[in-house]
């Protein structure tokens, strides 16, 4: 049974993780920044060294194409592997990067073992998966899958008032319309970013579905007033109403049988003074559930509660839905291939739901798709303490290799 070069893959991860480290040692490679350019340059170099041809599409998605017998592959749908290399602010070093670098390593390993695929293999590094600088997140894969036009994406203005298209041009990654065929399948290797595999001491996650996600920005307007002279029963406290909404969400998640998770991730008060009752509270709500009907029900429950709270607390509430992704069910056949590959290598495996949004959810709208998870120690992600053991990285890459060989050498 062939094996990827584990040391080479770990070295690549370490090298990429050093790009974007600031003076305080904080790793940040948000989309279309100078640090992102440096990371892109490194990945493109490694792709070329692995014999791949580089294609950059209009929104800066990088595609490394290995087509070892082009004359035989005319109009043949490629297998696509990959993920992203952009990060959150003060990030760990595995999120996204593992899927891209493991894809390159799969190609190297197949070459070194004389395995000639009967269809092209494409390794993708999608633009702006994290959505930190530009919204929406998973923007590059969304455009590739046809869920957003390139023109619309390039016109997106970031949190720093930059324009994505202008920044991609500035760093040299404004490409051309992509002529890649729709993939025959897409496989994304990723760290779990959660605690399940680590807690249960399981080596491989065969990801069978992905949670639906609804993001809201909620504004509560009350009456700003003096914190000392206003009796409690005479207050219209926007801050208190915001807190009640947070508590309502938590209680809903704790109901028997609930698979919903909800998070109030940002919150600001106006005027934000220690001795002033807030006249306004603006905050975000992140709702997730792997079942579309349940997610819709949770959204409706939130809407109903907001109306109720307006009456009981004498406040005005507006809710703006910022983003919405339906739950995704991955390809059953590929999920079974992951389970079979794990068994063949003597690795424990369980089926899982992805709690995080991933590029795979967009690819699933155009081709058979699935994900491979490997454990995150302590379930920590989006943090410098994010860590996956070397052997788990190697295990996941070997499973990715097995699936790639299976799909590209048996038509």
Residue 128: strand, helix, or coil: coil
Sequence-distant (6+) residues with CB within 8 A of 336 are none
pLDDT digits (tens, 9 = 90+) for 41-82: 999 999 999 999 999 999 999 999 999 766 666 679 999 999
CA end-to-end span of the chain:
21
pTM value is 0.89
DSSP 72: G
Q: How far apart are CA 405 and CA 212, in angstroms?
A: 31
DSSP 320: E
pLDDT of residue 70: 64
Q: How far apart are CA 81 and CA 101, in angstroms?
A: 10
pLDDT digits (tens, 9 = 90+) for 357-395: 899 999 999 999 999 999 999 999 999 999 999 999 999
Mean pLDDT, range 26-36, rounded to an integer = 97
Q: How far apart are CA 61 and CA 359, in angstroms?
A: 12
Q: How far apart are CA 408 and CA 118, in angstroms?
A: 6
Residue 281: strand, helix, or coil: strand
pLDDT digits (tens, 9 = 90+) for 294-323: 999 999 999 999 999 999 999 999 999 988
pLDDT digits (tens, 9 = 90+) for 147-201: 999 999 999 999 999 999 999 999 999 999 988 999 999 999 999 999 999 999 9
Residue 269: strand, helix, or coil: strand
Q: What is the mean pLDDT of the chain?
A: 96
């Amino acid at each position: 049974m062939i094996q990827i070069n584990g040391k080479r893959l770990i070295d690549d991860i370490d090298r990429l993780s050093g790009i974007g480290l600031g003076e305080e040692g904080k790793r940040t490679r948000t989309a279309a920044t100078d640090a992102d350019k440096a990371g892109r340059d490194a990945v493109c170099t490694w792709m070329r060294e692995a014999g791949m041809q580089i294609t950059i599409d209009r929104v800066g998605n990088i595609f490394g194409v290995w087509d070892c017998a082009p004359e035989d592959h005319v109009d043949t749908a490629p297998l696509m592997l990959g993920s992203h290399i952009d990060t959150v602010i003060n990030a760990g070093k595995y999120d996204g990067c593992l899927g891209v670098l493991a894809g390159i390593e799969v190609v190297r390993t197949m070459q070194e073992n004389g395995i000639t695929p009967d269809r092209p293999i494409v390794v993708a590094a999608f633009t702006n998966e994290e959505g930190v600088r530009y919204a929406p997140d998973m923007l590059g894969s969304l455009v590739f899958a046809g869920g957003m036009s390139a023109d619309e994406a390039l016109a997106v203005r970031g949190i720093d008032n930059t324009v994505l298209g202008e920044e991609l041009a500035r760093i040299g990654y404004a490409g051309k319309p992509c002529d890649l065929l729709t993939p025959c399948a897409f496989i994304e290797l990723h760290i779990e970013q959660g605690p399940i595999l680590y807690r249960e001491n399981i080596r491989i996650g065969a990801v069978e579905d992905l949670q639906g996600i609804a993001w809201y920005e909620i504004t509560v307007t009350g009456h700003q007033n003096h914190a000392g002279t206003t009796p409690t029963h005479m207050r219209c406290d926007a801050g208190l109403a915001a807190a009640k909404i947070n508590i309502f969400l938590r209680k809903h998640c704790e109901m028997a049988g609930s698979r919903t998770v909800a998070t109030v991730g940002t919150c600001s008060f106006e005027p934000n003074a220690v001795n002033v009752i807030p006249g306004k509270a603006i905050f975000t709500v992140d709702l997730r559930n792997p079942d579309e009907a349940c997610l819709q029900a949770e959204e409706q429950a939130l809407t109903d509660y907001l109306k109720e709270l307006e009456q009981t607390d004498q406040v005005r509430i507006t809710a703006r839905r910022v983003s919405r992704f339906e739950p995704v069910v991955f390809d059953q056949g590929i999920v079974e291939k992951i389970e079979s590959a794990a068994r063949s290598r003597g690795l424990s495996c369980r089926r899982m739901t992805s709690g995080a949004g991933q590029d795979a959810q967009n690819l699933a709208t155009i081709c058979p798709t699935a994900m491979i998870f490997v454990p995150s120690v302590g379930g920590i992600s989006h943090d410098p303490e994010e860590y996956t053991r070397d052997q788990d990285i190697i295990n996941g890459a070997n499973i990715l290799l097995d699936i790639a060989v299976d799909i590209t050498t048996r038509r």
